[in-house]
Amino acid sequence: MADVQIIDVSPRDGLQNEPAIVPTEKKKRLIEMLVDSNVKKIEATSFVHPRKVPQMADAEQVIKQCETFGEIEFVALIPNQKGFERAKQTNVSEVNWVTAATETFNCKNIGMSIDENFGQFKTIVQESKALNIKICFSIAVSFGCPYEGEVAPAKVISLVERAAEVGVDRIGIADTIGIATPKQVKQLLAEVMQVVPSIPIAIHLHDTRGLGLANAYAALEAGVNIFETSVSGIGGCPFAPGAAGNLATEDLVYMLERMGVRTDIDFEKLLAAADFAASLTSNQPLGRIRQVEKRGKCK
């Protein structure tokens, strides 16, 4: 059994800001390659309004395509109640609700205040449970905001407590603009896990300033064992000009396996998925291991 769980978000976070529409069949192929590499949980799409994120307009079709992949868990991001109404009509395993730790980011990203956003969230929690759909509550800009600067840990903890009260299945802490340091990550996650010891905590890391792996190690040291990453490091935050993408799944797997932390992921097949993901993006791929000329196994 794996020591950690890796949730690959490349089909959603990796592709959502691509200007050229990626055909549904190519998204399915990326997901298929991730499944083949033994990634057990994948954030496949987002039920956002097609006018706002045209790349995700085929959300229903993507989830339908995923039905052929057996026991894999598929996650879909939902920004609001309307997104949930669409998601619940599919066979999605889990919905990921995102709010932000700052009012400005929340308004610009979602068009609501934090309280308005949370009010909608509360209305769908019980319905999702009745439908046997897991629900994750993710907190964007948990370490720093492009509009309000550094984020006080107390703001994040307050949202964690509110989410726990309504009965979420998982809580995600996101370094949306890739500004966190290992010390910040370890301290905040240790506090989060102390506040909600019985709820699984995930960390979502961006590698904007090259600290993604260091921050992943800090999260591991704090006791976190769920990581959201993207093959080839594709994606990134549109609100951080010039920002690099997500922490590359293959880089994290390489580091963890070298440390003796089991991921149960087939590294060579994961590299193939990273190569394919890179071919779908117009940005420079971020993954470092896939660029190594001689690809050795994790030893």
* Token code pair at residue 11: 């089909």
* Token code pair at residue 19: 């200007």
Residue 127 to residue 85: CA distance in whole angstroms: 10
Residue 210 to residue 66: CA distance in whole angstroms: 33
The residue annotated as part of the active site, out of 136, 145, 237, 298, is 237
Bridge partners of residue 173, in order along the sequence: 139, 203
Q: How much is the CA Rg of the chain, to the nearest whole Å?
A: 17
Q: Which H helix or E strand runs over 100?
A: strand 94-100
Residue 285 to residue 279: CA distance in whole angstroms: 9
Bridge partners of residue 202, in order along the sequence: 172, 226
136 belongs to the catalytic site = no
Instruction: Enumerate the active-site residues.
Output: 237
